[in-house]
Amino acid sequence: MTTKRLIYWIIGIIILMIGVGVVLALMLGGKSAEPGTPQQPVTLPVSGTATSSLQIPDGSAGTMTITDFEGGSLVTNDFVNNGTTIPDAANQGRYLLAGDLGYCLTNEAACKAGGITDFNIFYDSADQSFAVALLVEPIGRTRLVMETFLARTLGVSQPDMCRLNYYIGVTSDINSFFAGKNLGFSFCQGATKLPE
């Protein structure tokens, strides 16, 4: 490798690191300035494989009230205590509704929720936000399956889902074109149209 090529690689890596830092700063920067635009909270977990079956809770654990992105209240099924959701032991107040925590080495079954590997759904009780990572292509189809799962788990309508504090994203190793964007729920205003 020539010295000139090495310098280009180093500059490229520096620019990439700055870009990642800017994206993270924007994602973790708090409430969006535009009304009706969901908050963009969390970093996205690692990729998964195809799912075989969905375990959708029946909502028999009761109800709970969460705050929507405008500060109003939204009554949902108690998705935290439904027997499927698991607490994230590494992040107090954070819960995995579906997918894999990604850090269990000894008891992997204890780190999986909902029998799902196509997407991860996290709930952060501190700011009452949801972070969704789409983990397999086609991401449009994966988003539709995730939307059905989340609507049934929460027991809310599509208009109510649009009121949630949420971020739906994909990592660049899954789809570099859509990485770093809040893709939104397909049925909400401003959602990104995805290939199915």
**Cα 135 from Cα 154, distance rounded (Å):** 21
**Cα 196 from Cα 99, distance rounded (Å):** 21
Q: Which pLDDT does position 61 carry in this prediction? A: 58
153-179 mean pLDDT: 96
- Domain boundaries, given as residue ranges, for the chain: 1-30, 33-169
6-24 mean pLDDT: 58
What is the DSSP code (8-state) at residue 170? Answer: -
Instruction: Give the residues across from 149 on adjacent strands.
Output: none
For the ranges 49-58, 130-139, 155-164, the lowest mean pLDDT is seen at 49-58
Buried b (16+ CB within 10 A) or exposed e, 14-45: eeeeeeeeeeeeebeeeeeeeeeebbbbbebb
Angle made by CA atoms 26, 27, 30, in degrees to the nearest 5: 85
- Three-state SS for 7? helix
Q: Which pLDDT does position 68 carry in this prediction? A: 93
- Three-state SS for 36? coil
Number of Cα atoms under 13 Å in the Cβ half of residue 196: 6
Q: Is the dihedral of CA 130, 163, 52, 57 positive or negative?
A: positive
Confidence grade of residue 102 (pLDDT, cut at 50, 70, 90): confident
23-73 pLDDT, tens per residue? 444 444 433 333 343 433 334 344 343 333 444 444 455 899 999 999 999
Instruction: Give the residues across from 129 on adjacent strands.
Output: 124, 165
Confidence grade of residue 3 (pLDDT, cut at 50, 70, 90): low
